[in-house]
Structures are given as structure tokens and as C-alpha cells.
Chain A
Amino acid sequence: MSQLRAGLRSRLPRGPGLVIVWLASALALAATARSLAVVGNLRPIMPTVAAFFLAIAVGEWLRFRITESRELAPMSLASALAFALLSGPLTSAPGPSGIPVDLVRPGEVLSVTALAMAVGAAPHLARRRALPADEIAARYLAVAAVAILFRGIPLWRSRTLLAIDAGWTGPRWPIALILATVSGLGLLLYLVLTAVVIAAREHRELRPTIADQIRTGAGLGLALGATGTLVALAARPLGVLALPLFLIPLLLTQFALRQYGAIHATYGQTVRVLARITDAAGFTRAGHAERVAALAVEIGRDLGLPELQTRNLEYAALLHDVGQVSLREPIPAGATVMAAPADQTRIAMNSAEVVRKAGVAAEVIEAVERQAVPYRVVREAGERLSVLARIVKVANAYDDFVGGSITARRREAAIERIQLGLGYEYDPRVVEALVRVLAREPRSGR
């Protein structure tokens, strides 16, 4: 138990992520405390509530990793959204009369969702898997916002959207539009909150991270919003049966995304092994590629590169020396920064040759190929040199100059040597970012 608690504590996020977690927890506790008093009222619609509870819990349990830093739980979010937007006859009795819509107030949605999410997260906790509390909290707050907006706030002539929905006669496509809009707003909030969490966790700038999240998350958000809306709309004729039926198309999406996440992780592992073969063959100092990659990624984030580009930067940095494997004789300690410019260029070309075969993005190939190009070509010849290539050059030079030493003096000397080449060899903006990154935390081995 104490182990469990220690595990929890170490996984708790810091900064804005922690604020989001506290906010969600406070909301959940308050809602649950209030709902306990009225739990008897829910009895007539218990089967419906139980079905949504189950769907949210199972969806939360089935969450999966899509990239190194992100987890998704589409079924949980879609089910919870649908629950928040529910207005149909919640009993299976035929006819539109006697709809007990008022029974499910925002508080009830919030407490049921909170309990279900906790139940779904429990198996993961029990197996001591990392629990991204901040991401779960972001999901929860999005659902809470939708529930309050739809059921709690009198938006139009002192009537809530729910009351408008319940009293609507005639074709229901305007209702469909309202539901889609509300769930769209909720999902937008979800994306913004996850961006806040990620920006805090990975030292990124907030604005580009939000833009990034919206760009990459819009697709899934669309599917989630549509599913939540569909279930809420179809619950009128179909009752609670609408929930499992409409989750089927989403299941397909989840399956695809899971496979994508799996292959994404595998790809990353294979690239790492490819990067390691120069170490294994004794051409480079052990761990050089991985240190350069880690440093390059931090510089890239500091400069506000979007996520996809950061990933390409990581691959380019990992693979920047892979061409050394075809050298006849290794260069001293594999440090390309000490090699003659012509040799540097040749290694870059060799590496690019290998990387080209590896089917990575064109951006990666270009960065590897032009990693040795000095920054002055940009200023003097007006050539274009990708920011990825400039970052790899600086990160590589730093690691080569430090030469595996961990003393502060050696690190300062390395920065000094890089600053000697400022504007001539190295891009000043990238070097500034390097200095900021290094100042942020004392790093061992650098």
C-alpha cells in the first residue's frame, strides 16, 4: 500500500497539470457529495445510468498509448459526452410522455462520470502502471463543461439547452446541431487542457502546443463529438441500446489508433537500434546518438517546434552518425566535430544514404544530409538550411566537445567553444536555446 502511495506521488504532475488535477478532483468530490442526497431519485433510470457507468469505466480501462507522451481513451470520453447530452426517454417505456430528464442534473453526470473513471483507472493502478492523472483530469473537465453548459446554464430565455431539447417538436436536426456544437466546445476544451498539461510537462511554449494539439487531435475529436451526439440523439427511439450500438463505429477507430500507437512505438525502438549500431561497432562513443537526440529534442521544444517536427528532429539526431558504419577506419572517438570539414560532409552523406533507405520523412533525410553545413551559408549565400539541421549541428557539437565528461568546467568550455563559432558555424538562436536548456537542470553525463 505504501508502495502504491509512493508510486502515485511520484507520478503526480507538477505546475499547471497539478492545478487541473486539483480542479477536477474538487469538482468530482463536490458533485458526488451533493448527488448522494438525491441518489434515490435516480432509481427509475438506474439501468440507463448503470449502462453509461459501465461504458465509461470500460473505456477508461481500455485506454492506450498513442505516442510516447500521450494516452487516449476514446470510448470513455465519447460515452461520458453522450451521458452529459442525454435527453431521450430514459426509461424504456414507449411514448414521449413522462420523460424524467430533470433527474439527471449536471451534478449527477459529474459524480457518475467521476466514479466510473476512477473504477476504470483502478486496474491500472493495481498493476502499478503509470497513471497520467493530468490527462484523466483533462478528460473529466471537458465532460464537466459539456454537462454544465447543456444541463445547468439557462442560456435562452431562462431555459437550459436540455429543456429546449426536451420540449422540441418537429425535425430534430437543429437539436443535432446544438448537441454537436456543445460537444465540439467540450472537446476543444479537452484539447486545450491536454496542451497545457503537455506544455508544462515537456517545457514547451503554450501557444504552439495548443495549435499542435488542435491540429493533431481534430480528427479524433470529430469522431468523438459525432459519437456522443449520435448516442444522445438515438437514445430517444432506441433507449439505452443506442450506447453499445453507436460505440461500434468508434471501436473501429479505436482499433486503428491502437495499432497506429503500437507501430509508432515499434518504429521508434527500431530507429534507436539503428542509431546504436555505430556504438556497437565501436565507431562512436557509447550513447552519443541518444544524448544528441535528447538534447536536440529539448532545444526543439524550447524553440517551439510542433510535435511532428520534434519527432523528425529526434530521428535525425538519432541517425546523424549512422553513416560512420561504412567507414574503413573510425575517426577518433567518433567525434565528427573534430574531423576535417570534408570528412564531416562525407559522413553526413553516408548517413543520409542509410537514412534514405530507412523510409523516414524527407525532412529527416535533409537534416542528416546537411548537418555539417555551417550556418554562414544562410547569412552569406542566402541558402535555406532547415532548423532541424541547425539544431542537430549544435547538439552534436556540444556532445562531442563535452566528450562524455560531467564536470561543470568541461561543460562551460564546450559552450564557449560553440560560442566561438556563433553566427559562423552555428545558428545563434539555436545556441541561445541550448544555453537555456542547459541552465534549466543540471544534467549528468553532459
Chain B
Amino acid sequence: MSQAAPTAGGEAEASTRPVADPTARRTATVVTLTGIAAAVGIWLAWHLEGPPTDLVATAVLLVMLLASWMVRVEVLAKVSVGSTSIVQLAAFVLVGPFGAAVIAAVAMFAQKSRTMQARVFNAAMIAILGTVGSFTYLWVGGARDLTTLHGAGELLWWVGGPLMIANIVQNLVNLALVAAIVWASRGENFWRHFVAMLTTSGLAQTGYGVIGFLFVILWVPAEVGPLSALLILAPLFIARWAYLQYGDEQRAHERTLSALVAAAEARDQFAVGHSQRVADLAQQIGDELGMGPSIVALRYAAMLHDIGLIASLPGRRRTSAATGSGSDPLALLTDEQAAAIIAHPSSGVDLLSDIDFLQDSLPGIRHHHERLDGRGYPDRLAGSAIPLQARVIAVADAFDALTHDRPQRPALGAEAALALLIERGGRHLDPVVVGALARVLTRHPWASEQAADPAEQGATAAPVLSMHDDPLTSDALAELRDAMEAR
């Protein structure tokens, strides 16, 4: 019904494909029972309260319900703001139980769903909500005739309060019905689903209650009548429009970020896809470590951790690196290349320092090559002085590098790579993070990739870019720096 979020779930998924026999039978039973309950409710409403007296209101509300999909807004991931709730609440007061149930059912049945079963269920459900909510309003003392009320106090007490109670009751029934159909059709736990929907949509529902109340006040006591519909919907319509724009802009931004990463990786075939994989893996490790909301910053940091490479090996000074497959990475690195690699974390931070939303991700980018033993770069941080974000990226980065082909060696299997990282725990990498990675890997299988034709990959512009994230390179660089300082 009314509810945006829960209904969306109900509308879309309820019913639907009869996969296995028991689910199909269960679903059919729930739909039938809901239909019977709706019919009984409508009959009771007719019997006890009769048809609505205000036909204009009935017609206007019906049109609003039919058009309600136009004003549905996704506020957060799963919470949307629709006008359905608002209109239905107004219907409790303006057209009574029978009217509220019938117009809602008609409007809902007219909306397209994937299957007939879903349409019947949704129409029956919203009819039940209409009768239940409407009767609740009357039973707790809601006023039938608002013209006799005067002043804010009376309106709040005899209309506002009862509407709020009716709103809560019909919401609970709504969530229960949706949870029931989801249980029947997809076998999800009833209570868990019920509580999840309650927590995500609770606040929005309270908001509808208030707007529904305002709608009624405007219609009767403020004597504006049907024109209230337009006035009350205008701000909601604009809110929807603004959210759509926001969504478009956000998607465009995500794509621009990916393009930024892709452009940086474009010069090295070994690196293609690396950033995205490290971002995914770092996020899973962060989840495992319970990093909470800071995971967003971690994800961006992981995605952009190597962006500085683009500046570290300038095009005009590029040297053609060796592409042979020696086992000692140090032999492949010239001093200039080593210096460039050591500079890349801070180059990345320089490049990104103007982007406000990445401020929390910069430490992770700057320190993703630090080592626990303090021999990393660029700042030689040690132990817990290295931000957790950077320690997570270091592990994800090394693991992805090991499990993919690099100029100096073919890909390792996931188990061999993990063993190598465990062995480096405490010295190079944080053992706690490596432990989290091990737990992640038991749940998500990892595909290590070896190219079909390694020779083809030799023709890459700057293979040194992708050599740097190998753990052995980290050792080599540490030794190189020690040696340079000793000199």
C-alpha cells in the first residue's frame, strides 16, 4: 500500500515465478487468504459505514492514487517517498472505510505488475490496509465531521492523533503482509524481514502521517477542497525531481571515477582491472574487520591507490623497461624507476588533494606501501602508526598482484599467495588484516588469472608500473633504500 518501500518489495517480488512446488502452493495460499480477508473487510465497511458521501473527494483521491507512481522518490537505498500513503491517510478521514478500501484496490489493480497473482495480492493488501486503517481511525475517536472542530488543539486531538495511530496500525499490517508473501514466495525469515523493513521505513512513514494530516486540514478546515491535492503534491513532486537529478549526477560521477582509474591504467596491460579488484577485496576485508562507515573512504582509497603512477613515470622521460622474466625484481629496476615508484603514493595524493570527498581516503593512498617493520615508503611509518586503511589496502594490493601475471613472473594460485602473505605477517603486512583476508577467501572464492599468451603482454608501455606491487619488490626497494642511505 501505502508504503513505498515495503510495497515495492511486495509489488515486485511477491508472487512471481513458481520455482519450486511448495513455494508456489504457499504463495497461492497467502494470496488467497489475503483476498478473502480483503473481501470480508470491504463487506464489513459497506455494512457498518456505507458508501462515501463525498463523491468529488472520492474521485480526486482515486486519480491521485492512480498517478502516485509519478511522485515516488527513492530517498535512501530502500526508502522511497510516495504519495500513496498520504492519499490513503486522507481517504480514512475524507471518504471512510469503504471508499478508502475500494479506491485503493482499484488504483493498485490498475498498476502493472509482473504477474496477475502479484496484482491481485497488491490490490487485496491495500484494500485490507484501507479498511484496517480507516476503522482504527474511527475507533480511537477520529472525527467524522471536521467542520465542527475549532483551533489547532482540537484538530490535533481529534484528527492528528487518531490519524497517527491509524497510520502506525496500517503500517504494521502492511509490513506483516509483505513479510508473509516474501516468506511464502522466497522462503525468507518472516521476523527478520519484518524488522528490517520496519527500521528502514519507519521514519519515512511518520513523515507521511504528518503530510496526510496536513492534506486533510487543508481540504476541510482550511476549506480549500480538491485544489489541496495540487498544492500538497507540488513540493513532493519537486523533491522527486531533485532526487532523480541527484541520482543521475551520482551515477555520472561514479563513471567518471572509473574513467579516471581506467585512464591511469591504460598504459600498462598488466594493471588493467587491478584497481577495481583491489577496491572490491579491500571492501570485503574492511567488512570483515568491522570498519563500519569508514569503508566508503577505504573503497575510494583502494580504487585510486595507484593513481600517482601516472605522474611518477612521465611520458617524456619514459625509459623502455626490460620485459624479460627474471626472478629478481631488483635487477629489473633502474634507480630512476625505483625513485619514481617511491614517489607514486605522494604523487597520487597531490593529484587528488583538491577533491573534497576524497580527503578521508588520502592517508590510505599515501601509506599503502608502508611496512610494519618501518622499511616501507614514502614515510617509513611502522606498526600501528600506519593507518588501518593503508594496512588493508597493502594486503589487498599484494594479494591481487600475486594472483595475477606480472612482467617478472606468472600468476600464483590463491592458496600459494595467501601462504606467502601469512609468512610476511608482522614484518611487512599486518597479520590481523591478513587473517581477515583468509576468512574472506573462505567465503568468496578468488580467481587467480594467468594469461593465455604471456608473450602478447610483453608489449606493454610501462611494465614497471605493475611490477611495483609485488611483495618482493617491496623487499627489494627497502634494501635499495637502505643501501642508498648507507652510501
Contacts and interface: CB of A to CB of B under 8 A. Distances in A.
Given A233-B222, A269-B356, A282-B314, A325 B243 contact: no
A322 B211 CA distance: 49
B6 to A, nearest CB: 19
A206 interface: no
24 contacts: A94-B150, A171-B225, A222-B234, A223-B239, A227-B235, A233-B231, A236-B221, A239-B151, A239-B152, A245-B213, A252-B81, A256-B242, A266-B357, A267-B249, A269-B354, A270-B260, A271-B256, A322-B263, A326-B263, A354-B259, A357-B255, A358-B255, A359-B256, A359-B259
A326 B315 CA distance: 10
A359 B218 contact: no
Contact of A252 (B218, B236, B252, B317): B236
Given A229-B231, A272-B354, A360 B252 contact: yes
B210 interface: yes
Given A270-B253, A359-B254, A238 B152 contact: yes
A277 interface: yes
Interface residues of B, number: 71
B241 A219 contact: yes
Contacts of A257: 242
B484 to A, nearest CB: 25
Contacts of A94: 150-151, 154
B347 interface: yes
B223 interface: yes
B262 A237 contact: no
B355 A273 contact: yes
A236 B150 CA distance: 10
B223 A172 contact: yes
A263 B351 CA distance: 19
B221 A237 contact: yes
A280 B222 contact: no
B356 A265 contact: yes
Given A230-B231, A327-B315, A355-B259, A237 B355 contact: no
B373 to A, nearest CB: 31
Contacts of B251: 359
A293 interface: no
B218 A233 contact: yes
Interface of A: 92-95, 170-173, 176-177, 180, 219-220, 222-223, 225-227, 229-230, 233-234, 236-239, 241, 245-246, 248-250, 252-253, 256-257, 259-260, 263-267, 269-274, 276-277, 280-283, 322, 325-330, 354-355, 357-360
Q: Is the interface of B mostly helix, strand, loop or mixed?
A: helix
Given A173-B226, A234-B217, A263-B246, 6 more contacts: A172-B223, A219-B238, A237-B217, A237-B221, A267-B252, A354-B262
Contacts of B253: 263, 266-267, 270, 359
A366 B242 CA distance: 27
A219 B235 CA distance: 9
B324 interface: no
Contact of A171 (B223, B243, B249, B316): B223
B232 interface: yes
A226 B151 contact: no
B256 A325 contact: no
Contacts of A236: 221-222
Nearest to A266: B357
A285 to B, nearest CB: 12
The winner among A95, A171, A359 for most chain B CB atoms within 10 A is A359
B245 interface: yes
A241 B152 contact: yes
A264 B354 contact: no
A363 to B, nearest CB: 13
Contacts of A170: 223
A279 to B, nearest CB: 9
B252 A180 contact: no
Contacts, number: 206
Contacts of B357: 266, 269
B16 interface: no
Contacts of B351: 273, 276-277, 280
A265 B228 CA distance: 36
Contacts of A267: 249, 252-253, 256
Contact of B250 (A248, A263, A326): A263
A234 B214 contact: yes
A72 to B, nearest CB: 11
A94 B152 CA distance: 9
Contact of A273 (B224, B250, B354): B354
A238 B155 contact: yes
A329 B319 CA distance: 11
B339 interface: no
A260 B249 contact: yes
B461 interface: yes
The winner among B222, B227, B266 for most chain A CB atoms within 10 A is B222
A92 B250 contact: no
A325 B238 contact: no
B448 interface: no
Contacts of B258: 357-358
A354 B257 CA distance: 11
Given A239-B152, A266-B355, A272-B354, A234 B252 contact: no
A238 B223 contact: no
B267 interface: yes
Given A176-B227, A238-B152, A265-B356, A250 B310 contact: no
